[in-house]
Structures are given as structure tokens and as C-alpha cells.
Structure 1
């Protein structure tokens, strides 16, 4: 067989098995297709399929095939992060800055604090800190992973719940948008490399100048031309971000943040996001699963994931509850918002991938974070659906 045939077998597995599982078992209520694909990536990785069927795993997922898949995965995640950056609407956050800053600050700060405390506990045992990671980087990285809200998946969930365009949905988007900015800012701080600080300063100054130029150019282009120019801008920023020592995904996110969604049209951007999710993001999920390892033992990994999950859930709920008390929200509203902000899959996985790429955390720590992200995301819909039925008035409908 040729290497192309092995590659196509891998693609067939990646796209067929999760979809069949999702469709036949009707898991949509607690595990949308994107979550099933992430779990499928874990199951197809070396820790599960590789351990159960090592000969078959080595037959299909040979190094050449993994290299080809990783190339697709890099571009897929760059596109996804770029879209997430474009979709941030900070103007609404500024318009409601008191409410947004209080809620977003507490929704981020409390799980960050509890997650950092959980990280301190986990680091008492070896196997979690990468060779290039300082202790503070691992603690803050794991803590921030507990605080992440995945804005694109949150949008998909709120569309499913029919609250995206309602006042409640728009409020939640403001909170998540502000937290997204903070998350990437903390990541940039974690990745700050004092040996390459000169390059990073050059990147920031160059990016500021290039942003002014690209924005002036975009307003003069037709919508048809904005798409290819936007992709060129994405590749350029990703390259510059990686050259500076940050990460190509930091560059990709910044490339999207400085562009306006109105230039592309919200409906067109929704369609493009869904196409990326359907066509190439499953390859990223598989490449993520290929990085999972159980070097310190499965029980220990699950225990660490459970500790991080507890910190993430409790921190988010406590933080939003404090915000609700300060701002005088209706009874039950804070709990509903807190559970919706639990959505972590994708952005947290991307965040953890960067920490792993930079060798700040180990594959074992990455596996624990991946399990935590999947569990947190799967809890969202089952917890929120009955709450919405009790708080139907919050969606602007008649009771």
C-alpha cells in the first residue's frame, strides 16, 4: 500500500467512527458531535487504541501518516483560532463595562485561583512539569486552563438552546469575550521568553504597524477579496508569532482580533466556522488524541483530571454567583450563566496544546487537562436545559 492509501484510511477512521457513534447512539443531548470527535481522538491515540491493538495502531498511524495529519491539524486550528478572534465584539463589552468587567473578572479569577491551588497539589507528585517549564508557569497554566471558556463552542451551544440572539445570550457572549482576551494575555505572559525578548518586542511593534495597514487595506477591498487577504494575513501573523518565540496560535488569534466581523458578514462567518469544524477540525482532534499518554498510570491521571474539574466547576460557579450578588441578578440566573461558561472544549485544548508544544507541561498533564475539558463541556447542556425551563422569562419569552 502507498502512504496516500494509509493516509486516506486514517481520514476514513477519523470522520466515520465518531459520526457513526454520535448518530446511532444519539448523544447530542450530553455530547455534541464536536465532543464525540474529541473523545474519539483520545480513544484512537496511543494510550487506548495503541495499547489495546499496538500492531493495528502502528499499521495505520505510522510516522509518515501522523506527519501528514499534523500538517492539516496546524492549519485547521489556526483557522479556528482566527475565527474566534474575529468574532470577539469588544464594543458591547465596553458599552456595559461595569457589569461585564465584574462578571468576567470573577468568572475568570475564581477558577484560576482554585485551579492554581489544585496544580500546587498535583505538582507534589512527579510527571507533570515539562523540561522547559518553570514551576510558576505550570501552576498558572493549569490554573488558567480551569478558567477557560470556549467562545466558539459556547456559541454553538447557545444556538442549540435558542438563546444566542436573546438578551441573556448576548450578555454571556460579552462575559466570555472579555475572558478570551484575558486568557490569551495570560498565555502570552506564560510564554514570555527573556532570551528572545528582543524578537518579541519586534513582533509587537511590527504587529501594531501591520494592523494599522491591514485595517486601512480591508476597508478598501470588496468582501470577495477580504477572504484571501485575511488568510494571507493569518499565515503571516502565525509565522511572525512563532518566529518571536510566542506561538503560531497566539499570532493567529491576534490576526483575527484586529479584524472586524462586519467586513465578512456574520452569516458568512458562521458558515465558514461550521465548514472548518466539519471538514478539517476532526483531524486536529485526532492529532490531539495522539498526544495523550498515561505514563504515571491511568488512575493518577483521572484523579488529577477530577481535581482540576472540581476546581474549574466550583470556581466558575462561585465567581459568577458573587457577580450576581453584587449586580443584583434574579434568583437562579447566576447558576445558569455559570454552567454555560463551563464550556471548555477546543479553546482549552488549544491552550493546553501550546503549553505542551513549549514543553511547559508533560503529555501526562496534557491528558489530564483534556479529560477535564471533555467532562466540563459534556456537563453543560444537561445542567443548563432544566434551568432554562425554570427561567424561561430570562430568554424574553412568555412564561
Structure 2
């Protein structure tokens, strides 16, 4: 296939993906689901689960094998500005009221699901044998299952928080910040899993080397890059929005650094967003953040489509359905239980603690990234990949209804959940009609 033909297929495929994603995203909102659920369903529909089962070979015509690597590159690039914007939306001032809550939630919300996930690797042994052989002695598979049960989808969680208008509430910020910490540690453990049992052929640094370089990277971002960026953006001759290329380059460079460490681009993008200087109102410059969020949100459906190509729901067997039941139960109990326990230890009321646990149970985007890494590294096969994708979908879809049962406030009452003595200003809620995934950053909320 010539370069011109590749470009034609990539452009055509992207057009179809974005259009279908928009339609299903709107449908998801009407059903009071996070908009990102529609995007995930669009990705599944364009894969072998639906389009691939239609006569005529439409899937292979629209997405020939030669084009998929290029679509994967587009998908990875889209993740960077999207996750950068998510981190920028965090209002960390709320944490003054809950200094103990975030560490406790992060630890319990990661360790308990990890333990249950590692145990699940042995529990499903009679039903599933990983590519690397039996579970016993297969450290890579055990670690991977532990991480798969422990991660939280920061992007999807941000979308839910944004759409409910609760980005300035204690529960919202504690959940988002703890989820960021959980996923950061999760990437390290995932890297260890790949090094222990991966067979992708990709070169990886040793775990000690990765840890040392990661600490050095974080120190550089916090103590060198952030002050320098603050001085640059605050210079007298700065033009509103004129430093967008600088900020975009920072996000990409940070993503490159973590990718080079084996931690995936998503984490570097998130860290870059966290160190963005804030104004007097506690929010970053919207003229710098909003364009990046919009660009990432526009192309994000490509990632879901690439992920959906490895999912064939129609191929599930009775054994796979049993795996689905076990993995879903482990995922829900571990996350909600761990989040609740951590929030209670951190001094949060019982109802708010339950809300935190339910929020951490969202897995969508981050889980799909981790599952793709596991599949590409040979830690799992396509059958378990499909099962775990469905677990991510089930846990994410159930988040909204459970929050409603818990009477978690919507946009109209969201600010009432912030302690009265909190120095936070009134929070604005993005307009879903003009907001891609519910209202990207640069505005004031948390991420999708």
C-alpha cells in the first residue's frame, strides 16, 4: 500500500470513528451515562464484535491491517493532550480540608484490589491458563491481574465528576487525586509485570533503574520544570494563549520521558498537567489548556476503536462468562471496599467514603490502556482481554446509577458538599452541549 493510500485510509477511518463516536456519545448522555461510555461502545461496534460480523468484509475494507499501526500512533498522541487537560482541572485547594484522606484512599484503593487481583489469578486457574504457562510461578501474569483490578480510569472519572459538577467537592477531588496516585504506582507495577513475564521483545530497563529514573524525573518536573514554566508564563510581555506551543511541547516531552521509562505516555501527560502553574483563582490559564483538551477529546475515539479491534464479544464461551463473573466481583469488591476503607481512615463521613469507593471503581480508559499493554506483551490472550474489557465497561456503566442511589449531588447542589470554611470560590459547571466529553479542562472541573 502506497503512502497516499495509507493517508486516504487513515483519514477515512478517522472520519468514521469520530462521527460514530459523536452519535453514541450523545446517546450515552441521554441515558445519563458518562459520554465516554458511548465512545467505548463505538470502538467495540467498529471491531469484530459488530462490524466484523457483517457480510461484505466492511471492517477489513475500512481498517486494513496496514493502516492499524498508523491509527495506533494517532490514538497515543490523542491521549497526551487529553490527560494533560485532565490533570489541569484538579482543584487541589480542596485538599487543605482532607490532608489525610488522599494518602489513605490511594493506599487502600490500590493495595486491597491488588491483593484480591493477585488472588484472582489463582482463583481463575481452573478456567484459564495464561500464555506464559500455569499461574504458579508466572509472576508477570499475577502482577498483571493485580494491576488490572487496581487501576482507576482517571479520564472517565474526570468525565463523571465534570458532568455532575462536583469537581470542587471533597469527594470529587479526593477521588481524582487518589486515582492519579493509584495509576502512577500502577504503571510502575505494570512495568514490573511486563519485565517479569512479557514476551513482546521490547527492551525494558530493570525495575530498580526504572524506579531511580522515575524519582529523578519527578524531582526535575517539580523543582526545575515547574518553577521555570511559572517564570516564563508570568513574564510581562506574555500574550494570552501565545505560549500554547510551549505548553504542548512540555506535555509531549513529559509523555516521552515516561514512555521511555516503560510507564506509558499517559502518566507523563498527567504529571505535566499537575505541575501547570495556577492563577489566583487556583485554575490554569484556560487559553493554554482548553485547546489541548479539545484536540485530545476530538481524536480520543481513535483509541477506543483501536482497542475494540481486539475485542470479539460473540466469541465468548461459557467458561469466559464464568471468568467475567469472577473478575467483575473481584473488581467491584476490591475497589469500592478499598476506597471506602481508605476514606474512613482519612476521616471522611461514611456516605462520602462510599461515594469515593464507587468513583474509584470506574476503569474505562486507563484499564483499556493497561489491557492493551498486557495483550501486546503476551501476558494475556484475546479471550481474557475481551473479558477484562467487559469488566471495565460494566464497572464504569454502573458508577453513575450507584452514585444516584447514594444521592450524590448533581450540578445544582455540588458546591454544598464543600466545607463552609473552605476558601474555594463558587465553581462553574461546563455546558454539556458544547463540551466534548462532558466539559474539558481549562474551565474548572476535573477530568474525563
Tell me which residue corresponds to 2:151.
148
Matched, 1:214 2:214: no
| Cα separation, 2, equivalents of 1:173 and 1:26 | 22
Alpha carbons of structure 1 residues 314 and 394: separation in structure 2 relative to 1, 3 Å: farther
Contact 1:241 1:249 in 2 (8 A): yes
2:172 to 169, 172, 176: 169
Give the structure with the higher percent helix: 1
String of CA shifts for 1:209-264, please: whole Å, max 9, x gaps: 854553353233237465323433444444454455x1542663475267335288
| Cα separation, 2, equivalents of 1:276 and 1:270 | 10
Residue 52 of structure 1, CA deviation: 3.5
| Cα separation, 2, equivalents of 1:157 and 1:242 | 27
String of CA shifts for 1:20-39, please: whole Å, max 9, x gaps: 3443x465445333111112
1:116 to 112, 115, 118: 118
Aligned residues: 395
Q: How does 1:350-365 map to 2 (within 5 A)?
A: 350-365=369-384
Tell me which residue corresponds to 1:228.
245
Tell me which residue corresponds to 2:426.
none
1:69 to 68, 71, 77: 71
Matched, 1:252 2:268: yes
| Cα separation, 2, equivalents of 1:277 and 1:67 | 19
TM-score, normalised relative to structure 1: 0.81
Tell me which residue corresponds to 1:37.
39
String of CA shifts for 1:17-61, please: whole Å, max 9, x gaps: 2333443x4654453331111122122113442234462222111
Q: How does 1:285-324 map to 2 (within 5 A)?
A: 285-293=304-312, 297-323=316-342
| Cα separation, 1, equivalents of 2:340 and 2:23 | 39
| Cα separation, 2, equivalents of 1:82 and 1:217 | 18
Tell me which residue corresponds to 1:106.
108
1:396 to 402, 409, 416: 416
| Cα separation, 1, equivalents of 2:409 and 2:387 | 34
Matched, 1:372 2:391: yes
Tell me which residue corresponds to 2:362.
343
| Cα separation, 2, equivalents of 1:69 and 1:356 | 17
1:20 to 2, 11, 23: 23
Residue 69 of structure 1, CA deviation: 1.4
Name which of structure 1's ranges 64-73 and 91-100 shifts more when overlaid on structure 2: 91-100
String of CA shifts for 1:90-149, please: whole Å, max 9, x gaps: 786587443322233222222222222222223444454469x97222222222222222
RMSD: 3.8
Contact 1:167 1:396 in 2 (8 A): no
Unpaired segments of 5 or more residues in structure 1?
none
| Cα separation, 2, equivalents of 1:219 and 1:112 | 37
Residue 327 of structure 1, CA deviation: 5.4
Alpha carbons of structure 1 residues 353 and 82: separation in structure 2 relative to 1, 3 Å: farther
| Cα separation, 1, equivalents of 2:28 and 2:164 | 17
Residue 373 of structure 1, CA deviation: 1.0
TM-score, normalised relative to structure 2: 0.74
Tell me which residue corresponds to 2:61.
59
Tell me which residue corresponds to 1:280.
299
Contact 2:91 2:167 in 1 (8 A): no
Alpha carbons of structure 1 residues 125 and 306: separation in structure 2 relative to 1, 3 Å: closer
Residue 305 of structure 1, CA deviation: 3.0
Residue 8 of structure 1, CA deviation: 3.5
Alpha carbons of structure 1 residues 389 and 46: separation in structure 2 relative to 1, 3 Å: closer
